[in-house]
Chain A
Amino acid sequence: MNQALLYNVVIPAVKAVVAVLVVATVAGILTLIERRVLARLQVRQGPNRVGWNGVLQWVADVVKLIFKEDVVPADAERGIHFLAPLLVMMPALTVFAFIPWGPETTWNIPGLGVIRTGLYGTDVNVGLLLLVAITSIGVYGIILGGWASNSKYALMGGLRSGAQLISYEVPMGFALVAAILMSRSLSLVGIVEAQRDAGLWFIFPGVIAFFLYFVSGVAETNRIPFDLPEAESELVAGFHTEYSGFRWAVFFLSEYANMITISAVATTLFFGGWLRPFPNVGWLSFLDIIPPLVWFVLKVSAFLFVYIWFRGTFPRYRFDQLMALGWKVLIPISIANVVLVALAALWGLPGLRVLSAVLWVALVAGFLVVRKAEPQRRTVLAAGVGR
């Protein structure tokens, strides 16, 4: 086959189709996993009827949603109401073009010969920038969906979402800047390779950046404790109150796809992407038996688990508190962190190592102090009423 055609059309097309299918399916399965994990955290059963132990529950859900009546409110802006879920879904899937699931590998496919290609859609040299740009589009879908529903709850959800997503883009951006400074690359593949070359996952020098990124990521994906746009106890269902059937499912799936994106990006930037732990420590090389893709998936799964764990643990912020957290806490910290990381990066790799050591020693020491000085935090003493 024509090499140009193969590399420019066929392989990208195959990758795109696979990515979309896999991500959409995984997002569906993730709903089931979330329910099972939550159930476990909440000492109950969880869905266990469809299929063996409920493994087909997500299929049943999807089938139900597809065949459900698609209700459009009477005075809704029909066109936009129709378009909004797509506007949310599209960027959620598009970003998977840049996320590297594995390194460049060689495939020996009979009939085509040896193909050398990466386990990623494409390696854009401004990948991170593009990623941020594309994910920001999703907010339009949410705002428009909320507005077009002609419902006050949906409108409030949409507005909350707009403010929230725009606010949390900023600390997230700064957290990314820290990663860029450490890796000196905007390409996601480049960042992973930088971590391999440095022999250091960026979580070590970039723990603050990672924390900021993950918190903002949770906020970006509208998850507890930042799930204000759809806070069910306040806004019924927020921006998708008036959606039903498959369009609602599209909103739902894109939320889960966004979760995967955030986890994947966090993995790439801070946890060495597809690399095994301590990529340049020789005696750990037996870990290479596990293929890079599996490492990547494992790391992403861990993040997804943390997402669900958060959901099972925390109450929800109030809207003004959320904004205060974003603007008054996260953004100043993120700017300071950029300065800190920039100074360390100026010194090069030794700087990053020193930064890691300082940060982690401080963290561990802090936790030890907190543990030792753990005060009684319960009503018994606070109230002055003894047992």
Chain B
Amino acid sequence: MSLLDRILLFDIFTGLKITGRHWWRKKDTVPYPEARREPSDRFRGMFKLDEERCIKCTLCAIECPINIIFIDWHNEKNPEGKAEKVLDRFDLDLKRCMFCGLCEDACPTNPKSIWLKTKSYELGAYERNEALYLDIVKLTQWDVQQGITIPPAPGEPVAAKEEKKP
């Protein structure tokens, strides 16, 4: 920086110019509850379980790095006389979840039976233990309970999506 620059506070004015220029720029933030960002298609958010598709293999519970998925099942004869696994419990301790998505990776069914790509990220709750400890009903029904539509599971054919809509 030359002496003249220093005397005339060139650096100071450059800084002021930069910030001043931003006065006219579009704001980067959005006023949240009114305006929302749409999460991306792969966003890992709230869990969703499809009980019918689930084959009770417990791979998700095994793969979970922090062991927050608890699965119990027993065998039952279905009307055709074939033995079928029935879930006794499928609990998920969401308050410890770190949304790594390994359970979804591990799920062998196609489409996935448990998935996080629900584009749902508003998980705040007033009661930590009640709201964030998900049982099978909450896991499968929360979107219906909240009255929102969520995107279909990854791998689910598009037709199913359209079918769901009406």
**Interface of A with B (CB < 8 Å)?**
40-45, 48, 309-310, 312-314, 363, 366-367, 369-370, 373, 375, 377
Contacts and interface: CB of A to CB of B under 8 A. Distances in A.
Contacts of A310: 16
A312 B19 CA distance: 7
B27 interface: yes
B8 A41 contact: no
Nearest to B5: A370
B15 A314 contact: yes
A370 B10 contact: yes
B23 interface: yes
Contacts of B19: 41, 309, 312-313
B27 A45 contact: yes
Chain A residues touching B, majority SS: loop
A42 B20 contact: no
A272 B16 CA distance: 25
A310 B5 CA distance: 19
Contacts of A314: 12, 15
A23 B1 CA distance: 42
Contacts of B30: 45
Of A41, A42, A366, A373, most buried by chain B (CB within 10 Å of CB) is A41
29 contacts: A40-B22, A40-B23, A40-B27, A41-B19, A41-B20, A41-B22, A41-B23, A42-B22, A43-B27, A43-B29, A44-B27, A45-B27, A45-B29, A45-B30, A45-B31, A48-B31, A310-B16, A313-B15, A313-B18, A313-B19, A314-B12, A314-B15, A363-B8, A366-B4, A366-B7, A367-B8, A370-B2, A370-B10, A377-B1
B29 A44 contact: yes
A313 B29 CA distance: 20
Nearest to A373: B2
B125 to A, nearest CB: 22
B37 interface: no
B77 interface: no
Nearest to B17: A313
Given A309-B20, A313-B19, A370-B10, A44 B28 contact: yes
A377 B15 CA distance: 13
A202 to B, nearest CB: 21
Contact of A366 (B8, B15, B20, B23): B8
A313 B12 CA distance: 9
Contact of B16 (A40, A44, A313, A377): A313
Contacts of A377: 1
A167 B4 CA distance: 26
B17 to A, nearest CB: 9
Contacts of A366: 4, 7-8
B128 interface: no
A312 B7 CA distance: 22
Contacts of A369: 4
Contacts of A312: 19
A257 to B, nearest CB: 25
Nearest to A369: B4
Contacts of B82: none
B4 A309 contact: no
Interface string B132-165: 0000000000000000000000000000000000
Interface in B61-94: none
Nearest to B29: A44
A360 to B, nearest CB: 13
B26 interface: yes
Contacts of B16: 309-310, 313
A16 B87 CA distance: 78
B14 to A, nearest CB: 8
B36 interface: no
A377 B4 CA distance: 15
B42 interface: no
A-B pairs, top 10 by smallest CB distance, nearest first, are: A44-B29, A313-B15, A313-B19, A43-B28, A41-B19, A366-B8, A312-B19, A45-B29, A43-B25, A370-B10
Contacts of B25: 43
A317 to B, nearest CB: 12
A373 B5 CA distance: 10
Nearest to A306: B16
A364 to B, nearest CB: 10
Contacts of B27: 40, 43-45
B8 A370 contact: yes
Contacts of A48: 31
A153 to B, nearest CB: 29
Nearest to B21: A41
Nearest to B34: A48
A363 B27 CA distance: 35
Contacts of A363: 8
A344 B50 CA distance: 88
B117 to A, nearest CB: 29
Given A42-B22, A366-B8, A375-B2, 16 more contacts: A40-B27, A41-B19, A41-B20, A41-B22, A43-B22, A43-B25, A43-B26, A45-B30, A48-B31, A309-B16, A310-B16, A313-B15, A313-B16, A314-B15, A370-B5, A373-B2
